[in-house]
Amino acid sequence: MREPCQSSHRSFAAFFATIALVASWCSSAGAQVARPATPEMTESCPGLVAGVVPRAIPPAYRLAALNSDQVRTTYLGHSTFLIESPQRVRITTDHNDFVRAPVVPDIATMNHAHNTHYTDHPEPGIKHVLRGWTPDGSPAWHDLQVQDVRVRNVPTNIRDWAGGTERYGNSIFIFEIANLCIVHLGHLHHTLTQQQLDEIGWPDVVFVPVDGSMTLDLEGMMEVLQSLKAQVMVPMHSFSMFTLRRFLDRAAQLWDVEMAEVPSFVISKTTLPAKPKVLVLPGQ
């Protein structure tokens, strides 16, 4: 039985979009080990935005204070988001050498399917570097509390370059902030077992890779999203307008789709949409 996200699982329950996009849009999991009671490839992704200087973030989105029940999320590109808590704890997801935040985060999460999802040289000022894998192939387990932010993870498997399975090579990271459950699926390669769904809980917001090839195929990702039942689904890891449009065409059969004009949004438990929606932030 899936539990709430907050305190072990889940609490109860947008630079402008390119004219072209606005105009044009109008595999199995391995067995999982039990989580401990108390936790302590080399090819780049094709079409990477690595050579592109990260977009400047308008100061209003960077500096505006948050209420105690609010979380601000800014899409930096690829699979990297900057998440900010009411107490100004900053987190970057899939922290890497190519897409960087305009500030040094307090917490950086990483995955290692490709070097666009991790770095071997994180900035010294990052207090907590959470890698979603371990060198010996055992599951990585994290359960970290920093002020008003709790970060934990659920390990998943990835494909290796020989066509086999690398067990526990990816982590889904869960961020519990301001009574919200925010989930980053990482470089997800398979649908989720009931045990994994139970460990994730009921997310309010989920960041979802939508390329449909390097990660999970389109229909498999639809299955994952329908199982998670988040109110807000934010696409990432799209590579191109074609793959993003393909995902949106399919998602629009199930949920509302909103095209944001800026790459940042502020959300709280009380401002969650009444109906689930896909929120598309500018960027790839």
Q: Under a CB-based contact definition with an 8 Å cutoff, are residues 131 and 122 in contact?
A: no
Determine the Cα–Cα distance for residues 184 and 92; give it in Å rounded to an integer: 11
79-126 tens-digit pLDDT = 999 999 999 999 999 998 999 999 999 999 999 877 777 699 999 999
27-61 tens-digit pLDDT = 334 444 444 443 332 222 222 333 334 444 555 44
216-254 tens-digit pLDDT = 999 999 999 999 999 999 999 898 999 999 999 999 999
Measuring CA to CA, how many Å separate 271 from each of 38, 63, 69, 71, 212? Answer: 33, 21, 10, 11, 30
Name 105's Cβ contacts closer than 8 Å, sequence gap at least 6. Answer: 82, 90, 91, 92, 95, 126
Lowest-confidence range among 138-152, 162-176, 177-191?
162-176
Domain positions in the chain: 57-280
- CATH number for the domain formed by residue range(s) 57-280: 3.60.15.10
The residue whose two tokens read 């070097």 is: 115
Determine the Cα–Cα distance for residues 130 and 215; give it in Å rounded to an integer: 21
Q: Which residue has the higher pLDDT, 266 or 3?
A: 266
Instruction: Give the pLDDT confidence score for residue 53 in this predicted structure.
Output: 40
